[in-house]
């Protein structure tokens, strides 16, 4: 069945303007018969303006009359012309201008050095490069390896800061989950590294009073 536009508004119009059964309307609009009953009772879709499927090119008047004469008949929506060409195209790889493509190895080196948890697939999608190029930069087998210098991909316009942060966040979360499954526990940073109180040696200079000094002299004379 072809998906129709605004099914609830279409159902409202069919309830108000036809003698179709609740089941017929429900099947055409991909809704539950109880929802259609609720529309008829005024409990559902209050304030929703009906949408005429005939003027909208989704249904013919002859199809409605045919269904009204047979409660077992299920209406078929009109298939738009060139419907096969209206399918959304899949998103292809990110396009990188020719002037910026020379910056890819430098950006790959920067990501590999600063965010080693990011996978090759993520790098490829982020800056629009190929996996063999990433591997050659990572292994330093790239034909121009001696001239590669790590450069932030955001600074050369290969991606946005938002995209980079998103990729790093996802990669870090995946690594954390993988480490937990592998039983790897990262020790928290200890904030207090001082020795126990009874082991601390107080090497601060002590205050010397006149009483303590002269008292020691008087003890020696006695």
Task: Read off the pLDDT of residues 126-161 as tens digits, 9 standing for 90 and up.
Answer: 988 889 999 999 999 998 889 999 999 888 888 888
Query: Taking residues 168-192, what's their average pLDDT?
Result: 73
Residue spans of the domains in the chain: they are 7-79, 98-181
pLDDT recorded at residue 101: 60
The Cα 44–Cα 35 span in angstroms is 7
Of 179, 157, 185, 168, the C-alpha closest to 119 is 168
Query: What are φ and ψ of residue 185, in 5° steps?
Result: -115, 125
Provide long-range contacts, Cβ within 8 A and 24+ apart, for 66-75.
Answer: 67/20, 67/24, 68/18, 68/19, 68/20, 71/21, 71/23, 71/24, 73/24, 74/24, 74/27, 74/28, 75/20, 75/24, 75/27, 75/28
User: pTM of the full predicted structure?
Assistant: 0.42
DSSP 3-state of 72: coil
User: Which pair of tokens denotes residue 154?
Assistant: 């955001």
**Residue 46 pLDDT:** 75
């Amino acid at each position: 069945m072809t998906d129709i536009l605004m099914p609830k508004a279409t159902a409202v119009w069919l309830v108000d303007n036809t003698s179709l059964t609740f089941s017929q309307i429900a099947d055409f609009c991909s809704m539950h018969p109880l929802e259609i009953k609720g529309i008829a009772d005024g409990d559902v879709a209050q304030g929703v303006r009906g949408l005429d499927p005939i003027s909208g090119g989704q249904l013919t008047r002859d199809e409605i009359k045919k269904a009204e004469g047979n409660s077992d008949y299920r209406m078929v929506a009109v298939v738009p012309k060139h419907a096969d060409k209206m399918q959304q195209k899949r998103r292809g790889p990110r396009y990188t201008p020719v002037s910026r493509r020379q910056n890819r190895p430098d950006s790959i080196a920067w990501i590999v050095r600063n965010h080693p948890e990011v996978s090759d697939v993520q790098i490829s999608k982020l800056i629009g490069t190929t996996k063999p190029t990433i591997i050659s930069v990572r292994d330093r087998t790239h034909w121009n390896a001696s001239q590669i210098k790590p450069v932030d991909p955001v600074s050369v316009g290969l991606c946005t800061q938002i995209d980079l942060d998103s990729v790093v966040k996802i990669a870090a979360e995946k690594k954390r989950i993988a480490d937990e499954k592998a039983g790897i526990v990262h020790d928290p940073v200890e904030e207090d590294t001082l020795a126990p109180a009874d082991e601390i040696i107080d090497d601060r200079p002590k205050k010397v009073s006149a009483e303590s000094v002269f008292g020691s002299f008087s003890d020696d004379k006695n």
